[in-house]
Amino acid sequence: MDSEEEEGFYGAASYYSDDEYELEEIPSLADKEPSLAPLLASNDAPHPSQLAALLEISRKHEATISKVETDISTLETEICDVESTLRALRRRRGALWREKRVLCSETPQLRRVMSPIRRLPPEMIGEIFLYFTPVLKATPRYEWYPAKTDIPWYLGQICRYWRSVALSLRSLW
């Protein structure tokens, strides 16, 4: 028994659980049997008339101890069951978090695949390229701007579909 439990059993003000929650006020032996208080505070022998009361109190204590031990055992079993359930729930939560992470990483990919620009016909993409090319050709050449002759190659690097459109447009070259 812990010293805290022993202290509680033998007369402390209250019992505490592992989480320090106050359960109930437990009266001390001296509070329950005031006539025994002098005996409990000294080393005097009990009077023969007090001996029968002491034996009865002792039997009640032993019966109570047995009941409390049974209750503790039952609670410990329940705690083990709850902890096992809690571990299973935490594993399930971890699996759900992993699933969410995967789904969240795949969602942008799906959105990109469904992008409207992917569904444009080649004629429309070609028109966009042709509108875009004069803007680039009119812009002064800086290091980060492509050369006018490189524009079809840059457009063709986006994807295979755009490359085939860029290569098929003679006016782009």
Q: Which residues contact 14 (CB under 8 A, 6 or more apart)?
A: 8, 22, 23, 24, 25, 26
Spatial distance between the Cα atoms of 125 and 131, rounded to a whole number of angstroms: 10
pLDDT (tens digit, 9 = 90+) per residue, 89-144? Answer: 999 999 999 999 999 999 999 999 999 988 999 999 998 888 877 665 555 655 55
Question: What is the distance between the alpha carbons of residues 153 and 137, in angstroms, rounded to a whole number?
Answer: 14
Judge contact between 130 and 172, C-beta under 8 A. yes
Distance CA 7, CA 93 (A): 41
> pLDDT > 90: what percent of the chain?
40
Task: Tell how far CA 51 is from the center of its chain.
Answer: 59
The pTM of this model reads 0.49
